[in-house]
């Protein structure tokens, strides 16, 4: 293979800094079909008076935990070194007992649900259930954590920081989502749903206020303080028992900065953990069903959790404490709304979805700012995108938000000259990389995107494949509410859904070319185009007619490459075996102290231990060792440290912060790992420290 030219290397760096990939292996072949559980039969309203069957499920989607680029900040320096908390997929299935229609809703602790993931999930669901779950009635959404492993897109721009496609992370994401849906499907029981609403005003701040202020007064008036404080909660019950909740609230899931290298679901994941584990006693590694609490994002494009408007700052200067606090605030408000949710959800379950070529939409004057027919453009990344968001994670030096044309000097080093018509179409964007015109085996950014509306009784979820600013989301919600003839409060914008295409701003915000405007790929009329398309979906849903599927997005799974090296072999330190303790804990600890233990280990890529754990904190109870905590818990961390690259020697560093209220007793730390031999075989091992006391 030829070495990349300076021009090619420069273009790769620009794409990486802008957006965010090339495994010498393709996506694994399809697995054999599994036996399909029979779907619950539809019937008229049952004697118990319930309209719906409801089910919930949860599964692990944690990717590779070391030596892989992380997804979200587009930083080549941010490579995973372990796990702070595991990432999970939470699924709910709602079936209308009268019509038999159903929807599957998924919210996963991911930066984005890429189109590759939607394609993979739907393919697996089709093997299990035939035509029961399709692109029309399956809504896949992400919390937008920036602390997960990358490499699960099929578009080059979003895999650059991870040095290409990472098949093991991709399979963990797809398999975990499918597992969560399967659990929800198998859990279907007669149930009820209630709807609650409220506001949360201390978990977000507008990070692009200058662009927000360019919007008309009528739009700004909907958001006093420049934030969207609304929180919408669905409460799910089976019989008389609460079994789950979905809480929608707009804030970026970026309390953790680009300096963090531990996998984490960030603030929304902590909110889920506090409700499920802390309040409901869910034990993720146990088989028993438990309460499932999803904390979904909405139109969070310009909403930051960093209340002091700089990375890792607000309300404290500790990024992990900020993660906990912002997550706790979301949990507590959602729980209050959930507990007093008094509006019964009733009515039909339905959905509409259409694929749209977003680079080629003719937009009627009804939706444009000047009342004239306009068009969208081939995707182009703006120079201001490379500046990043200084409030959440600045990108490359030399680039600033608000950069406008002309940009000839910027383009000279890369030899990428966009045609005059595209510069005009994208005006006033300072055009940097015309990703829509990059002619490659694997496209840089997507072109054909899914737009979807899901109806659960009176609540309508408008699922869009992007990060929408609060005013952009408001305009889409108004369009859909008008088309459906329903109150605005019954329409929720679900961003980060089914695919990913960066940002959607209003035309007025786009003109200022802040970070969000520079990242609006398809030009100034991106939002009006989506309003038009969502209006058509709303009309179809209201009238009970069907919509054309639209152009099917291509499957790029067979053309994925990676420059990331795999594991060659593992060796323990001289005189040691895998699992041996290299650093032992002290003999005793008081609450508030931190226990640290180190073990001889293998590379975590050998086995992602999806659905399992790399560590346990065990307590001696009745002469037996009982697991108290694992690597999905807030108070533990698992770090992988390479000691010698030539010999393949590494160690695992396990920490446990002994929280106040921890029962006094005898404890030990256990590490589970896997080692690869020179001949390619992988073997599992475990090691345990000597007992120590807490109290």
Structure tokens at 124: 């697996």
Q: What H or E segment, with its residue span, contains residue 535?
A: helix 526-543
- Asked if residues 236 and 193 have their Cβ atoms less than 8 Å apart, the reply is yes
- The region, left, alpha or beta by phi > 0 then psi within -120 to 50, assigned to residue 622 is left
Asked if residue 289 has pLDDT above 50, the reply is yes
Asked if residue 603 has pLDDT above 80, the reply is yes
Tens-digit pLDDT profile for residues 336-375: 999 999 999 999 999 999 999 999 999 999 999 999 999 9
Question: Among 304, 384, 501, 519, which one carries the catalytic annotation?
Answer: 304
Dihedral through CA 464, CA 465, CA 467, CA 469, nearest 10?
-30
CA distance 510 to 519: 9
Please state, in angstroms and as integers, the Cα–Cα distance from residue 305 to each residue in 188, 267, 356, following that order: 35, 9, 32
Smallest Cα–Cα separation from 389: which of 512, 515, 496, 509?
515
530 and 611 in one domain? no
The whole-chain average pLDDT of the chain stands at 90
Confirm whether pTM is higher than 0.85: yes
616 and 530 in one domain? no
- Asked if residues 438 and 324 have their Cβ atoms less than 8 Å apart, the reply is no
The confidence score (pLDDT) of residue 74 equals: 85
3-state class (DSSP) for residue 9: helix
Tens-digit pLDDT profile for residues 419-467: 888 888 999 998 678 899 877 788 999 999 999 999 999 999 999 999 9
**What percent of the chain lies above the pLDDT cut of 70?**
88
Smallest Cα–Cα separation from 68: which of 502, 635, 640?
640
Please state, in angstroms and as integers, the Cα–Cα distance from residue 184 to each residue in 94, 530, 685, following that order: 9, 31, 33
Q: Choose one of 547, 566, 589: the last residue of a domain.
A: 547
Tens-digit pLDDT profile for residues 4-18: 333 334 444 444 444
The confidence score (pLDDT) of residue 432 equals: 72
The confidence score (pLDDT) of residue 28 equals: 34
3-state class (DSSP) for residue 511: helix
The confidence score (pLDDT) of residue 437 equals: 87
Asked if residue 304 has pLDDT above 90, the reply is yes
263 and 172 in one domain? yes
What is the average pLDDT across 186-202?
98
Q: Is residue 348 part of a domain?
A: yes
147 and 233 in one domain? yes
| Residue-range definition of the domain harbouring residue 672 | 581-694
The confidence score (pLDDT) of residue 423 equals: 85
Structure tokens at 599: 């073990």
The confidence score (pLDDT) of residue 401 equals: 53
Dihedral through CA 473, CA 395, CA 2, CA 412, nearest 10?
90
Q: Is residue 70 part of a domain?
A: yes
CATH number of the domain bearing residue 593: 2.60.40.2300
The confidence score (pLDDT) of residue 414 equals: 42
Local confidence band at 215 (pLDDT 50, 70, 90 cut-offs): very high
Strand 292-296, strand 241-249: pairing: parallel
Asked if residue 49 has pLDDT above 70, the reply is no
630 and 481 in one domain? no
Active site residue 304: yes
Which comes out higher in pLDDT, residue 84 or 392? 84
**What percent of the chain lies above the pLDDT cut of 90?**
83
Q: For the beta carbon of residue 448, count every other beta carbon within 10 angstroms.
A: 17
Please state, in angstroms and as integers, the Cα–Cα distance from residue 70 to each residue in 149, 206, 636, following that order: 4, 25, 20
CA distance 528 to 368: 6
Please state, in angstroms and as integers, the Cα–Cα distance from residue 88 to each residue in 143, 145, 316, 560, following that order: 10, 11, 27, 25
The confidence score (pLDDT) of residue 19 equals: 42
Asked if residue 551 has pLDDT above 80, the reply is yes
Question: What are the two backbone dihedrals, phi and then psi, of residue 67, each rounded to the nearest 5 degrees?
Answer: 55, 45
Strand 431-433, strand 343-344: pairing: unpaired
- Asked if residues 270 and 328 have their Cβ atoms less than 8 Å apart, the reply is yes
Q: Which residues pair with 621 in a beta bridge?
A: 624
Half-sphere exposure in the Cβ direction for 445 (13 Å, CA): 28
499 and 616 in one domain? no
Structure tokens at 310: 């700089």
The confidence score (pLDDT) of residue 418 equals: 73
Classify burial at 407, counting beta carbons within 10 Å of its beta carbon; exposed 0-12, middle 13-18, buried 19 or more.
Answer: middle
Q: Is residue 440 part of a domain?
A: no
Smallest Cα–Cα separation from 495: which of 222, 322, 253?
253
Local confidence band at 50 (pLDDT 50, 70, 90 cut-offs): confident
Q: Is residue 397 part of a domain?
A: no
Local confidence band at 565 (pLDDT 50, 70, 90 cut-offs): confident
Ranges 20-24, 398-402, 484-488: which has the least confidence: 20-24
350 and 469 in one domain? yes
What is the average pLDDT across 76-102?
97
The confidence score (pLDDT) of residue 419 equals: 84
Ranges 36-40, 92-96, 274-278: which has the least confidence: 36-40
617 and 542 in one domain? no
Angle separating helix axes 526-543 and 470-484, nearest 10 degrees: 30
Please state, in angstroms and as integers, the Cα–Cα distance from residue 609 to each residue in 65, 139, 172, following that order: 10, 27, 10
Structure tokens at 430: 């300072």
- Asked if residues 444 and 155 have their Cβ atoms less than 8 Å apart, the reply is yes
CA distance 32 to 42: 29
The confidence score (pLDDT) of residue 433 equals: 82
Q: Choose one of 496, 529, 547: the last residue of a domain.
A: 547
21 and 168 in one domain? yes
Strand 79-83, strand 262-263: pairing: parallel
Question: Which DSSP symbol is given to 311?
Answer: T
Q: For the beta carbon of residue 627, count every other beta carbon within 10 angstroms.
A: 15
Q: Choose one of 547, 568, 603: the last residue of a domain.
A: 547
Q: Is residue 43 part of a domain?
A: no
604 and 513 in one domain? no
| DSSP alpha helix (H) spans, 130-237 | 167-186, 209-212, 217-220
The confidence score (pLDDT) of residue 18 equals: 42
Q: What H or E segment, with its residue span, contains residue 293?
A: strand 292-296
Which comes out higher in pLDDT, residue 685 or 397? 685
542 and 681 in one domain? no
Q: Is residue 622 part of a domain?
A: yes
Long-range contacts of 681-684 (CB under 8 A, 24+ apart): 682/602, 682/606, 682/607, 684/607
Smallest Cα–Cα separation from 363: which of 549, 534, 526, 538?
526
518 and 609 in one domain? no
Q: Is residue 525 part of a domain?
A: yes
Question: Which DSSP symbol is given to 437?
Answer: G
Asked if residue 46 has pLDDT above 60, the reply is no
CA distance 115 to 448: 10
The confidence score (pLDDT) of residue 395 equals: 55
The confidence score (pLDDT) of residue 394 equals: 57
The number of distinct structural domains making up the chain is 2
The confidence score (pLDDT) of residue 469 equals: 98
Q: Is residue 563 part of a domain?
A: no
């Amino acid at each position: 293979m030829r070495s990349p030219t300076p021009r090619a290397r420069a273009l790769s760096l620009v794409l990486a800094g802008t957006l965010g990939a090339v495994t010498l292996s393709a996506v694994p072949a399809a697995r054999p079909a599994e036996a399909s559980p029979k779907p619950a039969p539809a019937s008229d309203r049952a004697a118990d008076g319930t309209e719906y069957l409801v089910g919930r499920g949860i599964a692990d989607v944690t990717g590779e935990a070391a030596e892989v680029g992380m997804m979200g900040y587009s930083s080549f320096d941010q490579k995973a070194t372990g796990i702070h908390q595991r990432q999970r997929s939470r699924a709910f299935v709602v079936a209308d007992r009268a019509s038999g229609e159903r929807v599957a809703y998924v919210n996963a602790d991911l930066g984005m649900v890429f189109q590759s993931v939607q394609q993979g999930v739907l393919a697996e669901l089709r093997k299990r259930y035939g035509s029961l779950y399709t692109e029309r009635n399956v809504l896949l959404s992400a919390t937008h954590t920036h602390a997960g492993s990358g490499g699960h897109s099929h578009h080059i721009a979003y895999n650059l920081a991870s040095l290409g496609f990472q098949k093991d992370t991709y399979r963990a994401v797809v398999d975990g989502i499918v597992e969560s849906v399967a659990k929800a499907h198998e859990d279907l029981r007669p149930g009820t749903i209630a709807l609650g609403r409220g506001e949360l005003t201390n978990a977000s701040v507008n990070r692009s206020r200058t662009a927000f202020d360019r919007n008309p007064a009528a739009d700004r008036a909907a958001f006093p303080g420049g934030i969207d404080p609304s929180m919408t909660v669905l409460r799910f019950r089976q019989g008389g028992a609460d079994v789950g909740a979905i809480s929608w609230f707009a804030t970026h899931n970026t309390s953790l900065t680009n300096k963090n290298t531990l996998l984490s679901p960030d603030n929304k994941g902590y909110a889920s953990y506090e409700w499920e584990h802390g309040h409901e006693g869910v034990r993720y590694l146990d088989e028993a069903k438990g309460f499932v609490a999803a904390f979904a994002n909405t139109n969070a494009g310009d909403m930051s959790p960093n209340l002091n408007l700089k990375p890792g700052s607000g309300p404290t200067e500790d990024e992990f404490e900020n993660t906990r606090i912002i997550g706790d605030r979301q949990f507590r408000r959602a729980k209050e709304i959930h507990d007093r949710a008094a509006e019964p959800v009733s009515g039909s379950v339905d959905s509409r979805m259409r694929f749209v070529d977003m680079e080629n939409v003719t937009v009627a004057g009804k939706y444009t700012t000047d009342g004239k027919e306009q068009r969208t453009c081939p995707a182009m990344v703006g120079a201001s995108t490379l500046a990043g968001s200084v409030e959440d994670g600045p990108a490359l030096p030399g680039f600033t938000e608000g950069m406008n044309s002309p940009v000839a000097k910027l383009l000279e080093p890369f030899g990428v000259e966009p045609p005059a018509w595209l510069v005009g179409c994208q005006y006033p964007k300072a055009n940097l990389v015309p990703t829509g015109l990059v002619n490659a085996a694997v496209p840089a950014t997507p072109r054909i995107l899914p737009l979807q509306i899901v109806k659960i009784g009176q609540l309508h979820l408008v699922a869009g494949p992007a990060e929408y600013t609060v005013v952009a989301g408001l305009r889409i919600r108004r369009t859909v509410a008008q088309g459906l003839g329903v109150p605005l409060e019954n329409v929720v914008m679900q961003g980060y859904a089914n695919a990913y295409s960066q940002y959607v701003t209003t035309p007025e915000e786009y003109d200022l070319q802040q970070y969000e405007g520079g990242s609006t790929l398809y030009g100034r009329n991106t939002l009006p185009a989506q309003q038009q398309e969502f209006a058509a979906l709303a009309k179809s849903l209201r009238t009970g007619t069907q919509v054309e599927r639209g152009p099917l997005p291509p499957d790029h799974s067979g053309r994925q490459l990676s420059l990331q090296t795999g594991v060659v072999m593992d060796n323990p330190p001289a005189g040691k075996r895998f699992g041996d303790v290299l650093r032992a804990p002290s003999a005793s600890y008081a609450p508030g102290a931190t226990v640290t233990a180190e073990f001889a280990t293998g590379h975590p890529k050998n086995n992602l231990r999806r659905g399992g754990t790399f560590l346990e904190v065990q307590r001696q109870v009745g002469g037996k060792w009982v697991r108290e905590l694992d690597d999905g818990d807030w108070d533990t961390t698992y770090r992988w440290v390479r000691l010698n690259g030539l010999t393949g020697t590494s160690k695992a560093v396990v920490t446990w912060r002994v929280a106040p209220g921890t029962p006094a007793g005898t404890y030990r730390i256990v590490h589970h790992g896997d080692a690869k031999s020179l001949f390619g075989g992988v073997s599992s091992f475990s090691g345990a420290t000597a007992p120590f006391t807490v109290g």
